Structure 1
């Protein structure tokens, strides 16, 4: 790929820095917890804490935060989770090394009767391992940071989440037990299986990954063969941390593909869907695409292309089977930069000209739904998952920093190898 123009590099730098500022503004410094959204009264999301722990090294490298400040923020979070209530009661913070999806910002106890979340705990642990891989100085604080991160990873009882054979459940609630569904089809759980298989203490069984990949769905859409998943975030979350370029599990060896290339194809499929725009929404096209999980309008139905169209609020929108209500995700599109910068930069450039950072960094916007002032609908505030994903994916495009850090983790390497990955940087 040719180098980006200086103006585009400056644009991306500004967006990455603005996304990182979310963690500066919405973190409880006493315990390291980070708000799920910037909206008043938001609870903490454990996954957002994982993104924050991974973003602090980026900020240090970019000169946005002093190393000492980043260490103290990271230590606050690690100390909190190390000493958190793991009894699994409705008022606890977690159980079996996992944590409830949402926690109260001040006390760190369970919020919203949320589930003990396997995937959100995984993203949190990925952040812990990233911090441990970066802060390697022999100081007392950085030594403590690494010790805590290692102990917290080793505490996770991944095997407990396989309560009915090889399948891994999505979560658990103290009131009702395990959720009655597991991971089916390709999803963001790729990193969950890698970390679960890499555990030196309570690993997933070897059969778990093959059991999951047997539920994969390989399709041909718009001339592209790819491993199907509708929303963009599924093709991005695991690759915020793990470099899948040139390494292959059994499934991808058979398809002569890898997960990075698969995400590149998924990005092009998103663009082609928007060009075709089968539901005739405003704002979709070659310079307007990107369906993913995020906020959307919850307005009454309205006439669109001769039909009564509903709008779904917060939803996981996907291509090509839906749901689709014309809501696009600026963060998901921008996070695709690492896969296909040649089609992402023109979109971001267009959106910046039309609505600026507010449009690009908001959880969602919809040009079909208009405000009272006649402007396109834009989600209020920002969501931590979006901002964290942007910081990591833009950095992986710019320097590969997060990928390089996790390549050095023996747990990541062990998990990939136990899942059957071979080749590329995994080759001795």
Structure 2
């Protein structure tokens, strides 16, 4: 009997020893935790896909509570309202089945400092996360921004969104999210792809397949040059040219390569010899789409760059007889007592005030039609007033939940949301209000606080705020958990312009831009 007890005890010790070894083998590698105003980001390596249980203590080493279970390699722990004072949270990332009473638990423990909240910290966090889309999620081979995070077409990269991303990367380097050389390496890779990519009289296509480098059709007849996306891309390239202009030898070489790309875009060829710019041209279908670029909308930068080109410029008549000569250029009406000089009813989607003005500084920019900062500010204020009045009685609208633009939509897929239309179906796009911060800082910050502190657990992910949500839908279907390059870029860039004006300063330092603006009749005060 005694012999059996000894053998049984030995087996228990052996099993315990074996289990301890297994515990040691699944301690999360590179476990990290970073505290933000109302959440902690926990990351670790989990190549084997183990299941972990996450526990948190907010009062030292006691009172741990289980907050999640996951087989992924990260977790965002939202704890609600901002803390009144700085605190330390303790987390334990335990393999499923390991008891909290085990002596092993401290091996799975990490302490995280949670800062007190401030507007600056909130803005920096939002910019930092949005910039990840262009640094962490960029295509590794080409460096270009992926069109979207939920793309059903494959590994598709976008030129216009890449232009926005280049600016975000520059700001990220200045904010020490990564090094200047890291930003250079990314942008150098992008330029290398653009030099080899098929072009159409100097213009790039809207989309390319990153796996083979070939054009990927945006639509049936849109398989060639896209002049507007080329303009957005060039906006970013010229910003990078100024950022690296006085850098080291590698950076100066990159500057020369960007200049060559810029000077080989045949802007005037896209007029078809008329007083108009045309959006698309295809080797296969020619001018079949026949889409004139008219305003007022997001395409203003296309005319500014076309007029600024030192090699293939357009004349002022092209601008005046096409862009400013449309049914929705002049407005002059008041909406909620706010006068709107240019644009369609209610101003249209808010990306009209973002895309061209990521680099083009609206402050002090005017012409015979309007002051552009005031025009854009009015546009954003009209959106705010519309959401506050909420004429269709949509759930959630208000002074802290506003902003309509083109984005994903939980009801109809991708759609251009704008007040006063059927497309305005209760969907809010966080990029709309956040990217308007340069025009409406108080209202944009109110919206940002609401999106993060009140709805962050649903709206916030690895690259920041998801693309859109509709509070009127059932809880599991409210949020489209996707990211789009053209929505992430304006968030990062406009927050930086609000904080420092950096991207405006760089883009406007290009001497050709002033030439183009003057040619078109703009004044810079």
Structure (1 or 2) with the greater helix fraction: 1
Corresponding residue for residue 255 of structure 1 = none
Tell me which residue corresponds to 1:48. 161
Kept in 1: contact 2:155–2:211 (CA 8 A) = no
Residues 335-365 of structure 1: CA deviation (Å, up to 9, x unaligned): 0111011111112111212321762622211
- Determine the structure 1 residue equivalent to 2:215: 110
CA contact (8 A) 1:213 1:251 kept: no
Q: Partner residue of 1:237?
A: 355
Q: Indicate if the aligned counterparts of 1:263 and 1:339 stay in contact, CA closer than 8 A.
A: yes
For residues 54 and 113 of structure 1, the distance between their equivalents in structure 2, rounded to whole angstroms, comes to 24
Structure number with the higher strand fraction is 2
Change (3 A) 1:140 1:380: same
In structure 2, C-alpha distance between the alignment counterparts of 1:235 and 1:322, rounded to whole Å: 21
Query: How far apart in 1 are the matches of 2:299 and 2:429?
Result: 21
Give the drift of 1:233.
0.4
Q: Give, in angstroms, the shift of residue 247 of structure 1.
A: 2.2
1:214 counterpart residue number: 325
Are residue 389 (structure 1) and residue 490 (structure 2) matched?
yes
* Residue 105 (structure 2) aligns with: none
Q: Residue 295 of structure 1: which of 405, 408, 411 is its match?
A: 408
CA separation of 1:423/1:52 partners in 2, compared to 1, >3 Å: closer, same or farther? closer
Contact 1:230 1:321 survives alignment (8 Å): no
1:134 matched to 2:235? The reply is no
Change (3 A) 1:419 1:67: same
Is 2:153 the counterpart of 1:19? no
Q: Secondary structure at the match of 2:437?
A: helix
Whether the aligned pair in 1 keeps the contact of 2:304 and 2:517 (CA below 8 Å) is yes
Q: TM-score, normalised by structure 2?
A: 0.72
Structure of greater relative contact order (alpha carbons < 8 Å, 6+ residues apart) = 1
User: Residue in 2 aligned with 1:366?
Assistant: 470
Alignment length, in residue pairs?
A: 391
1:352 aligns with 2:452: yes
1: distance between equivalents of 2:208 and 2:348? 29
Q: In the alignment, which residue of structure 2 is the partner of 1:302?
A: none
> Does the 8 A contact of 1:130 with 1:402 survive in 2?
yes
* Alignment gaps of 5+ in structure 2: 1-115
2:135–2:169: 8 Å Cα contact kept in structure 1? Answer: no
Partner of 2:291: 181
Are 1:400 and 2:501 counterparts? yes
Runs of 4+ in structure 1 deviating by more than 3 angstroms, as ranges, are none
**The structure with more radius of gyration:** 2
> 1-side partners of 2:165 and 2:298: how far apart?
18
What is the aligned counterpart of 1:269 among 382, 389, 401? 382
In 2, Cα distance between the equivalents of 1:358 and 1:173? 42
